[in-house]
């Protein structure tokens, strides 16, 4: 019993230490997930002496934590974002994983004295990007980039884990049974189709069941998040039990549930955020504890070479080949290649060769651990400066905003929002609240009053409004402060603006010849942008037309393009290998970032 309390004390102390360390990471811009991993290393067997070597328990805990992270990742991905980038992202998560695993495996075969099949296994272990790392850095790290690029990275990181897991499990099975290359037959292909097919189907069914239960069954508000999470884990475990990919299923269920209007959404979102943080902390701490750093020097040099090869060659080459058919610029392709972070998923998969009883199984774990450390150090620390150097940071549309979303009981057809009026907001400058919004209450200096008796709004007023679902973003602009514009971003939206109703033919005569066909000449600029994007345009979307670039400057209340900018600076398409074109850009970004860190330290 004393041992139980001691273990509980140590475990909670580590989680608390990791949570407090996040404040330090935010202050200095350190990769937070790397910090969690280092805490596990420092307190492990070669540090403070905590001896944790239960691979089965670590894999089980890591799998459940990953399922929670993937569900929240899907829950936070809008259907519009998924449609916008599904095809290129799925290409990256399938063909891209295979290419990365093959290239990495070939070099591992040469450097680590492994057979090619064993090298391919190591390549499969590190082939997928880490959903926790990518979602954390993009959503919480304050990196505001073009929606299509962001969506591509998020959808890829959520969907490539099942592919890497399947390849790793299949290769472990082949090597442990001694079948070798003879084990590659149609049965393996059928197993892949079965796992992915069941994962997709049961994920959609599971998501529909989750939404049905939360909508139709009267659940106490505090229990709604618990119901959702437990049903998500039920989808994960049941799909895995019947031979499907539980990781794909729980991600798809999250996308479906997140796209539906469900009760207690605010409570669910806040609970999901907390559980995802806890899952990330637990997963990285446990995997850090499992490592034995004293074994690293034996394979340090080849592992470092492999890590650098993955970052600078294998990942960029795979991304370039996969995105060739799609309209990504050279810089966008280079950035997608650079955000190929490896994390806990790779370390988690590296446990499988040990559990499978493969000879030298610890080599896979130690190599993968070092590769992950290199990826988090190089890429995790530099994503924002690289994005800025490549000109991919989008200037903020609005400034700071103080908003609270309140849950309404039952299946209400309205949302209740509370805004605090901030300095320089449009409502203070005389702009009216739209008719479709129903302001009901104003709290001023601690006193509440009906909106119609409050008179002109003042700074620090708290305003409560009822609106129809989906219109909150339009109100945000009224209650937000003025957006600061960096001088580096002053020409982001082009040299000048044109009306969205301008005919493409007129644009072609002025700045042509443009890369448009006869049918496109007869439509407006707004219609052309939406056609090229395959749906509704969003703020800062770009369309290249030969010598010019059209940029969406603003969107009106109905979701249509309100203003279009024109940039006369040509943007090169992705025709050259990003490893050659962007290494100089990345080196400059790293140098500038290190200078800033050095100046701050002085």
Query: In the predicted model, is pLDDT for residue 367 greater than 90?
Result: yes
Cα–Cα separations (whole angstroms), residue 539 to 144, 337, 397, 547: 11, 24, 8, 22
Q: How far is CA 393 from the centre of its chain?
A: 16
| pLDDT, mean of residues 80-95 | 85
Last residue of a domain, one of 332, 361, 389: 389
User: SS3 of 97, please?
Assistant: helix
Residue 318 located in a structural domain? yes
Q: DSSP assignment, residue 409?
A: S
Most confident of 167-171, 188-192, 380-384, 390-394: 167-171
Residue 591 located in a structural domain? no
Instruction: Count CA atoms closer than 13 A to 357's CA, side-chain side.
Output: 5
Angle CA 239–241–242, to nearest 5: 70
CATH of the domain at 454: 3.30.70.1450
Q: What pLDDT, on a 0 to 100 scale, did the predictor assign at position 354?
A: 93
Higher per-residue pLDDT: 270 or 362: 362
Tokens 């999901």, residue? 272
Please, are residues 245 and 239 in contact by the beta-carbon 8 Å criterion? yes
What the block records as the tokens of 138 is 């993009």
* Residues 456 and 514 both lie in one domain: no
Query: In the predicted model, is pLDDT for residue 447 greater than 80?
Result: yes
* Residues 270 and 412 both lie in one domain: no
To which H or E segment does residue 442 belong? strand 438-444
* Residues 16 and 114 both lie in one domain: yes
Residue 601 located in a structural domain? no
* Residues 66 and 87 both lie in one domain: yes
Please, are residues 347 and 303 in contact by the beta-carbon 8 Å criterion? no
Query: In the predicted model, is pLDDT for residue 412 greater than 70?
Result: no
Q: What is the dihedral of CA 158, 160, 165, 167, to 10 degrees?
A: 170
What the block records as the tokens of 19 is 């949570």
- pLDDT band at residue 470, thresholds of 50, 70 and 90? low
Last residue of a domain, one of 431, 452, 479: 479
Angle between helices 315-323 and 330-338 (to 10 degrees): 140
* Residues 312 and 439 both lie in one domain: no
- pLDDT band at residue 596, thresholds of 50, 70 and 90? low
pLDDT digits (tens, 9 = 90+) for 104-151: 999 999 999 888 889 999 999 999 888 777 777 776 656 778 778 888
Instruction: Count CA atoms closer than 13 A to 552's CA, side-chain side.
Output: 25
Dihedral sign, Cα of residue 77, residue 82, residue 85, residue 89: positive
Q: What pLDDT, on a 0 to 100 scale, did the predictor assign at position 297?
A: 92
* Residues 446 and 507 both lie in one domain: no
Find the distance separating the first CA and the last CA of the chain, reported in whole Å: 51
Residue 583 located in a structural domain? no
Kindly report the backbone phi and psi dihedral angles of residue 502, in degrees, each rounded to the nearest multiple of 5, phi listed first: -60, 135
* Residues 409 and 455 both lie in one domain: yes
CATH of the domain at 514: 3.30.465.10
Work out how many domains the chain is built from and give that number: 3
The boundaries of the domain holding residue 451 are 402-479
Residue 437 located in a structural domain? yes
* Residues 462 and 506 both lie in one domain: no
CATH of the domain at 373: 1.20.1530.20
Residue 15 located in a structural domain? yes
* Residues 510 and 458 both lie in one domain: no
- The residue ranges of DSSP E strands in 468-585, in sequence order, are 496-498, 542-545, 548-555, 561-567
Residue 580 located in a structural domain? no
Nearest-CA neighbor of 207 among 36, 90, 70?
Answer: 70
DSSP per-residue string spanning 320-366? HHHHTTS--BHHHHHHHHHT----HHHHHHTTHHHHTT-TTHHHHHH
- pLDDT band at residue 591, thresholds of 50, 70 and 90? low
Last residue of a domain, one of 431, 451, 479: 479
Q: How far apart are CA 542 and CA 548, in angstroms?
A: 10
* Residues 257 and 121 both lie in one domain: yes
- The fraction of the chain above a pLDDT of 70, given in percent, is 84
Dihedral sign, Cα of residue 491, residue 497, residue 501, residue 502: negative
Q: What is the pTM of this model?
A: 0.79
User: SS3 of 566, please?
Assistant: strand
* Residues 39 and 171 both lie in one domain: yes
Residue 514 located in a structural domain? yes
Higher per-residue pLDDT: 178 or 269: 269
* Residues 469 and 505 both lie in one domain: no
């Amino acid at each position: 019993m004393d041992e139980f309390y001691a273990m509980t004390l140590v475990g909670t102390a580590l989680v608390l230490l990791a949570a407090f360390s996040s404040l330090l990471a935010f202050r200095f811009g350190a990769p937070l997930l790397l910090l969690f991993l280092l805490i596990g290393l420092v307190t492990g067997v070669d540090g403070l002496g905590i001896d944790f070597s239960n691979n089965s328990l670590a894999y089980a805990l890591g799998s459940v934590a990953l399922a929670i992270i993937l569900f929240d990742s899907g829950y936070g991905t809008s259907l519009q974002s998924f449609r916008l980038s599904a095809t290129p992202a799925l290409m990256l998560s399938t063909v891209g994983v295979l290419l990365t695993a093959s290239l990495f495996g070939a070099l591992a075969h040469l450097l680590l004295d492994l057979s090619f099949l064993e090298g391919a296994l190591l390549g499969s272990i590190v082939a997928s990007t880490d959903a926790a790392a990518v979602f954390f850095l993009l959503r919480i790290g304050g990196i505001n980039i073009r929606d299509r690029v962001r969506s591509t990275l998020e959808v890829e990181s959520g969907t490539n884990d099942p592919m890497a897991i399947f390849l790793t499990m299949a290769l472990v099975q082949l090597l442990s049974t001694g079948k070798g290359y003879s084990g590659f037959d149609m049965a393996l292909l059928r197993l892949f189709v079965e796992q992915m097919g069941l994962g997709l189907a049961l994920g959609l069914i599971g998501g529909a069941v989750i939404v049905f239960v939360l909508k139709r069954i009267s659940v106490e508000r505090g229990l709604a998040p618990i119901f959702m999470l437990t049903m998500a884990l039920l989808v994960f475990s049941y799909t895995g039990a019947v031979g499907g990919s539980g990781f794909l299923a729980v991600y798809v269920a999250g996308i479906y549930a997140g796209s539906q209007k469900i009760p207690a959404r605010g409570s669910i979102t806040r609970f999901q955020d907390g559980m995802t943080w806890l899952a990330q902390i637990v997963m990285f701490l446990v995997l850090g504890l499992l490592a034995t750093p004293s074994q690293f020097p034996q394979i340090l040099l080849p592992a470092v070479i492999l890590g650098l090869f993955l970052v600078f060659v294998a990942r960029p080459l795979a991304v370039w080949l996969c995105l060739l058919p799609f309209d990504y610029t050279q810089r966008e392709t280079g950035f997608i290649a650079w955000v190929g972070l490896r994390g806990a998923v790779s370390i988690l998969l590296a446990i499988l060769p040990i559990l499978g009883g493969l000879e030298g199984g610890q080599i896979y774990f130690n190599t993968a651990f070092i590769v992950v450390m290199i990826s988090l150090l190089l890429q995790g620390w530099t994503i924002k400066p690289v994005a800025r150097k490549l000109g991919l940071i989008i200037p903020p549309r609005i400034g700071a905003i103080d908003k609270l979303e309140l849950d309404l009981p039952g299946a209400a057809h309205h949302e209740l929002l509370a805004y605090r009026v901030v300095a320089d907001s449009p409502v203070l400058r005389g702009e009216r609240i739209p008719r479709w919004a129903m302001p009901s209450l104003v709290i001023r200096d601690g006193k509440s009053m009906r909106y119609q008796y409050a008179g002109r709004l003042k700074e620090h007023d708290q305003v409560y409004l009822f609106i129809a679902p989906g219109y909150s973003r339009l109100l945000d602009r009224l209650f937000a402060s003025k957006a600061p514009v960096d001088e580096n971003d002053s020409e982001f939206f082009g040299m000048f603006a044109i009306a969205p109703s301008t005919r493409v033919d007129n644009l072609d005569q002025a700045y042509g010849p443009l890369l448009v066909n006869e049918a496109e000449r007869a439509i407006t600029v707004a219609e052309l942008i939406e056609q090229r994007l395959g749906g509704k345009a969003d703020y800062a979307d770009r369309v290249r037309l030969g010598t010019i670039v059209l940029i969406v400057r603003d969107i009106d209340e109905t979701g249509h393009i309100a203003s279009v900018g024109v940039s006369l600076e040509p943007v090169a398409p992705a025709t050259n290998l990003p490893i050659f074109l962007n290494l100089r850009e990345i080196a400059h970004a790293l140098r500038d970032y290190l200078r800033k860190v050095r100046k701050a330290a002085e």
